[in-house]
A = this chain, B = another copy of it.
Amino acid sequence: METQPLGVAMIGYAFMGQAHSQGWRNARSFFDPAVVPELRVVCGRDAEAAGDLARRFGWQSVETDWRAAIARDDVDIVDICTPGDTHAEIALAALAAGKHVLCEKPLANSVEEAETMTEAAQRARVDGIRSMVGFTYRRVPAIALAQRLVADGRIGEVRHVRAQYLQDWLVDPESPLTWRLQKERAGSGALGDIGAHVIDLTQFITGDRLAGVSGLTETFVKERPLPRSSSGLSATAGSGTGQVTVDDATVFIGRFAGGAIASFEATRFATGRKNAIRLELNGTRGSIAFDFEDMNVLNVYEADADEPGFRRIQVTEPHHPYVAAWWPAGHGLGYEHGFTHQAADFLTAIAAGTDPSPSFADGLGVQRVLEAVETSAASGAAWTPITPPAIG
């Protein structure tokens, strides 16, 4: 007896829309989940652009009003791929309509929104409605393996956390203004866009949470040319440029609740670094190190080995997380595969009636760290404690 397929409505059709489309489709092809997703509707204000995506990826229909998409009876899952300022409204409406929700990160643009969303998710959960936030990097096999090894005690008690997310796409001061550079749309800059990922990853891998931070933010290029199509961007009156109202870069230090001390950095000005997610944890028994520029590899040091050294593990063996579904050993995966793993895990949780992870509460936890960094930066790098979530 075959289960019914679940209809997916995806809100948004740009970079993330394409990645999520690939995720839903591949989940079905490679993971054969207990419930099968149907790509029912893609939703975007630009009907032509959304239609183009639909044609290329096999979405069965297009909507321009996200409320209409959510309202459809043939939609069971709402997948939110829009900028952060719309997450709360769409997610709350979808949960209210009894739909499972997958929401891109950061969960929201403020702690308040994130709290409201988390509460709504927890109410909906009672009725079997599942929700998840899209920190896909957790699902890079090497990172999933790192979490497993740390949880198994392979590096002992963690003492040092070192995390960087380095990009360079804004080094050129003539690179135009986009919604990602305006606070009202994006919430924050490098901090929320990419810093959020490494905050989540370190909390995920350690199983611990940041208890306090002290940080700086910086905007190196304060004004940028408007792009040709600048609808929705706040321009400086009478000029061809607009203000950058978010951070270009942030550095902060912190303490985890369990005692580890930490150093974080997120920047779009690290010339030559394209998507360098670098994680290093040092524990009492060993260490792990990861760099997304070599994403199929995890480096692990175990101090009690005979002739120890960092072991360059190619995380491409069938027994590694997610890998068995794909290709033979050594035939590495790419960036996009995390989205397939995310879709497959979400579908599996829905079918099994279990809580998918990372939850909205996890997203709220990251949001609190983001807020604490901003608070600290605004008050001269003052130490800013982070209260643990009462909910979640």
Binding site for B on A (CB under 8 A): 15, 19, 21-22, 25-26, 28-30, 32, 56-58, 145, 149, 155, 159-160, 162, 164, 166-169, 171, 214-216, 218, 220, 249, 251-253, 255, 259, 261-263, 265, 267, 269-276, 282-287, 292-296, 299-301, 303, 305, 307-314, 316, 326-337, 380-383
Q: Is the CB of A311 within 8 A of B316?
A: no
Question: Is the CB–CB distance between A328 and B275 below 8 Å?
Answer: yes
The answer to whether B159 touches A269 (Cβ under 8 A) is: yes
Could you tell me if A267 and B308 are in contact, using CB atoms closer than 8 angstroms?
no
Kindly report how many copies of this chain are found in the complex they form together.
Answer: 4
Q: CB distance B271 to A251 under 8 Å?
A: no
Contacts of A145 in B (CB 8 A): 307
Given A218-B261, A309-B312, A382-B382: 20 more A-B contacts, CB < 8 Å:
A19-B327, A160-B270, A167-B330, A168-B282, A171-B303, A249-B261, A271-B282, A271-B284, A271-B301, A273-B282, A274-B329, A274-B330, A275-B330, A295-B332, A299-B312, A300-B309, A331-B334, A334-B334, A380-B383, A381-B381
Q: Which residue of B lies closest to A169 (CB)?
A: B329
Question: B15 near A22 (CB under 8 angstroms)?
Answer: no
What B residues does A259 contact at CB under 8 A? 220
Contact residue among B29, B155, B216 (Cβ-Cβ distance under 8 Å from A22): B29
A261 touching B216, Cβ below 8 Å: yes
Given contacts A149-B307, A265-B162, A293-B314, A155 and B271 within 8 Å (CB-CB): yes
User: Could you list some 6 contacts between A and B, CB below 8 A?
Assistant: A216-B255, A253-B263, A263-B265, A272-B282, A273-B287, A381-B382
Q: Beyond A29-B22, A272-B287, A275-B329, is A216–B303 a contact (Cβ under 8 Å)?
A: no
Whether the Cβ atoms of A253 and B311 lie closer than 8 Å is: no
